[in-house]
Amino acid sequence: MPNTHTPEQIIRAEILALSAYHVPPAAGMIKLDAMENPYPLPSALRDEIAQLALHAPVNRYPDASAASLKETLRQTLGISDNLDILLGNGSDEIIQIIAMAIAKPGAVLMSVEPAFVMFRMIATFANIPYVGVPLKNDFTLDLDAMLAAIAKHQPAVIFLAYPNNPTGNLFNRAAILSIIQATPGIIVIDEAYQAFAEDSFIDQLGHYPNLLLMRTLSKSGLAGLRLGLLIGRPEWLKQLEKVRLPYNIGIMTQLIAEKVLHHTPVLSEQAQAIKSERAKMSAFLGTMRGITVYPSNANFILFRVNAASQIFQALKQHNILIKNLDGTHPLLENCLRETVGTPDENSQFCATLRTILSETV
């Protein structure tokens, strides 16, 4: 028998150097860490879903093209016939598909910093150099720096989240259009939080051949299903389809997503409720001494405190789980991110935070 290798000898150095994406345990907690919609579906709709599950032919592979679901998405989102749709097991998988497809020697994946961490992580998985252009101190786009970085690195793909995670803001629309025009490669606008924003680039798909638009059902109420979509010109999506694994969207996801999409007012009413709670939460945080709250167009709020880790831990001891961003990027020093929950969860969060702050300062 030959000597067996250790993982350290076989696994790529960049992978050995990573720490796995950390999902903290949340059993019994008020969960305000992961941008989930806090509201369940109405019980009548859940009964309909139960019927679908009862009759689903789970012994068969799902429809590999998810044709029926795609048609429903096309109608609900108003996607024109000259554009194609690619489905992913969450939009995370779509980022991965794009990264794998472009991973030639020398290809660069670009985004801003701080941005959604999966852009950087997936670049690493796919062995692609990642360039993150820092945002300005107020989390707006640094257009000059972006244009200079594009000229220098000629990125194969740029990912921009609109609104951005973890900052919550919408970047300047004109600045994004300048970036699109300056980019020789693909540009993906990631609209994961579109349900809570007042804007979209969907109307620009017709104007720019290399523009792709990504959406997900996760943040608007179906995180457990894992469904993301990419919308763009057929000449791009035809190539990306080749990288998609044939049965990546399971039958339950296809059936349930389609059913819920036929009840879009349910999700949009929930989004409306989240937006009005967001306004209340922002106003509350704005009145607290020692807190800087940043404007949000998403279902979460970023705020800066004096001792983030201490406050994060104290909230956790009170069974409230949010996200501590301190230490993840220099611009996020002492920043916390709180997902907007139900009115009840939010008032518990506010009351607890008030107590903690009065004890720590």
Tokens of 208: 């720019």
The token pair at 247 is 């049965």
**Structure token digits, residue 89:** 């097991």
As a whole number of Å, the CA-based R_g of the chain is 21
Residues within the interface to ligand PLP (CB under 6 A): 35, 90-92, 116, 161, 165, 190, 192, 216, 218, 228
For the bound state, the minimum distance from the C-beta of residue 219 to ligand PLP, rounded and expressed in Å, comes to 6
For the chain, helix, strand, coil in percent to 5 are: 45, 15, 40
Nearer to ligand PLP, 153 or 337 (CB): 337
Closest approach of ligand PLP to the CB of residue 95, in Å: 7
Question: 134 in helix, strand or coil?
Answer: strand
Sign for the CA dihedral angle at 71, 258, 23, 270 comes to positive
Minimum CB distance to ligand PLP smaller for 35 or for 240? 35
Shortest separation between residue 307's beta carbon and ligand PLP, angstroms: 26
Give min distance, CB of 336 to ligand PLP, in A.
Answer: 16
Taking the complex as a whole, how short is the minimal distance between the CB of residue 91 and ligand PLP, in angstroms?
A: 4
Of 144, 128, 130, 216, which is closest to residue 178 (Cα–Cα)? 144
Looking at the Cβ atoms of 116 and 236, the one nearer to ligand PLP is 116
What contacts 24+ positions apart, CB below 8 Å, involve 121-130?
121/18, 121/21, 122/92, 122/95, 122/96, 123/99, 124/14, 124/15, 124/18, 125/15, 125/96, 125/99, 126/96, 126/99, 126/100, 127/12, 127/14, 127/103, 128/99, 128/102, 128/103, 128/156
Name the residue nearer to ligand PLP (CB basis): 165 or 169. 165
Under a CB-based contact definition with an 8 Å cutoff, are residues 248 and 87 in contact? yes
- Taking the complex as a whole, how short is the minimal distance between the CB of residue 319 and ligand PLP, in angstroms? 24
DSSP 170: P
Rounded Cα–Cα distance for residues 159 and 186 (Å): 9
Question: At its nearest, how many Å lie between ligand PLP and the CB of residue 88?
Answer: 7
Least distance from C-beta 10 to ligand PLP, angstroms? 28
Phi-psi region of 244 (alpha: psi -120 to 50; beta: other; left: phi over 0): beta
Q: Which is nearer to ligand PLP, 41 or 189 (CB)?
A: 189
CB 89, CB 226: distance < 8 Å: yes
Q: Which is nearer to ligand PLP, 101 or 249 (CB)?
A: 249
Nearer CB in complex with ligand PLP: 92/277: 92
Give the residue with the Cβ less far from ligand PLP, 90 or 155.
Answer: 90
Residue nearest to ligand PLP (CB): 90
